[in-house]
Chains A and B, each alone.
Chain A
């Protein structure tokens, strides 16, 4: 007797370089396989039935966290797509610059899954309940995609076309996430789940740049509540230029809840999810503001 959940027939290839991976991935029926913690469950459920999986775990050149210079001259945090959740969670530079990522990683799955699941895999799974997508959306990160002719960059807010769909074409591979670094920035992620390691019922990420107690830039990411591109743009627009106060945050939180589109499911009814967004957005914004002011 074999398992109830068995992937259908699939071929396996191990990539020896990024170029090799790209050439193996030219078929629309091929999928890159990293930690496997999104793809293999999808294959067991037959929601994904690739003809070929291309194992890229050996491409260690895609597992890194470094600081670089952005196109506009500012610093940017660069995260290789093969960076595991555990590596992101354990990185001091990440925690110092973008505690939103540390907050999110603490509540993504469990320690064993975090050992193997990767940042790139999570983004490419494009699950509407996936935490890093909202965190990177809040941080206005950019995705770097390797192509046959070189590479292209896509803002994370344009990366997801919808549930389980991204802009990545056959013959391409997500290689890096770049997060712009600005002085005076604080960030936080607040999530409510049913039990340890579960998907979000709702979650909110906030990235605020504050100068003289005024919000210069606001990034607000929403998880699992049907927000287009995981972002609360109306709330961001409202907050920009306003004083960083509880009143401003409350108004922004109401806007975020009003404009998202949660659906009732086994995790709760729609009005409950909107109520969570109001509360979690205020908490995330307040914590992000406190961190912008130097608090941990």
Chain B
């Protein structure tokens, strides 16, 4: 069947089998291999993307379910202004080692910070509790998200200040 799906702001139309899982549509049909494919049982969370603004494990979505809807993947985190603060945080705080869980972790972190700009450690741990990392012991991921929260708060304060000055 024919589907039209907007991914990171670009509309794609493809003919797919209805049984094609969204994670494979993104990786194999669109070549967006930033979304990883892990346990295939909706446990590990490396395949997390946003579907209409809400994180979902894309191994548990049939591609036609996303027809006419919007997807955001890790490739869509960076903007014209540069890396997302979450991406910067993972770099600054060594939030990744092998990097396999990182795309899903960052998309969940971005979603969390959009809803809760100053989350405490417990809130961050709860938010990522459906996603497995086998390298960092989660410590550095939590630090990375905290770093991103501080960074965007500082950026917002700076922006507010420059507005006043102007």
Contacts and interface: CB of A to CB of B under 8 A. Distances in A.
Interface of A: 2-12, 14, 33, 36-37, 40-41, 43-44, 53, 55, 57, 109-113, 115-116, 196-197
Nearest to A52: B18
A3 B18 CA distance: 15
Q: Which of A5, A9, A11, A116 gathers the greatest number of chain B CB atoms within 10 Å?
A: A116
B41 interface: yes
A2 B60 CA distance: 15
Interface stretch (B51-59, B81-89, B90-98, B149-157): B51-59
A85 B31 CA distance: 32
19 contacts: A3-B37, A5-B40, A5-B41, A6-B19, A7-B62, A11-B18, A14-B67, A36-B61, A40-B60, A53-B62, A55-B64, A55-B65, A110-B45, A110-B131, A112-B45, A112-B131, A113-B60, A116-B56, A197-B129
Interface string B116-127: 000000000011
B28 to A, nearest CB: 8
Given A111-B127, A112-B57, A196-B129, A3 B21 contact: yes
Contacts of B24: 2-3
Interface in B25-59: 28, 37, 40-43, 45, 48, 54-57, 59
B54 A12 contact: no
A110 B42 CA distance: 10
A281 to B, nearest CB: 27
Contact of B108 (A53, A112, A113, A196): A112
A6 B63 CA distance: 13
Contact of A3 (B1, B40, B64): B40
Contacts of B37: 3
Contacts, number: 81
Nearest to B112: A111
Contacts of B78: none
A57 B4 CA distance: 17
B40 A4 contact: yes
A3 B20 CA distance: 10
Contact of B42 (A2, A41, A196): A41
B11 interface: no
B17 interface: yes
B43 A197 contact: yes
Contacts of B18: 10-12, 53
Contacts of A12: 1, 18, 62, 64
Q: Which of B18, B37, B40, B126 gathers the greatest number of chain A CB atoms within 10 Å?
A: B18
Contacts of A3: 21, 24, 37, 40, 59
Contacts of B127: 111
B42 A111 contact: no
A14 to B, nearest CB: 8
A36 B19 contact: no
Given A111-B127, A116-B60, 15 more contacts: A2-B28, A3-B37, A6-B21, A7-B19, A8-B19, A9-B19, A10-B18, A44-B40, A55-B64, A55-B65, A110-B130, A112-B55, A115-B54, A116-B56, A197-B43
Nearest to B52: A57
Contacts of A4: 40
Contacts of A11: 18
Contacts of A5: 40-41
B69 to A, nearest CB: 10
B56 A111 contact: no
A113 B57 contact: yes
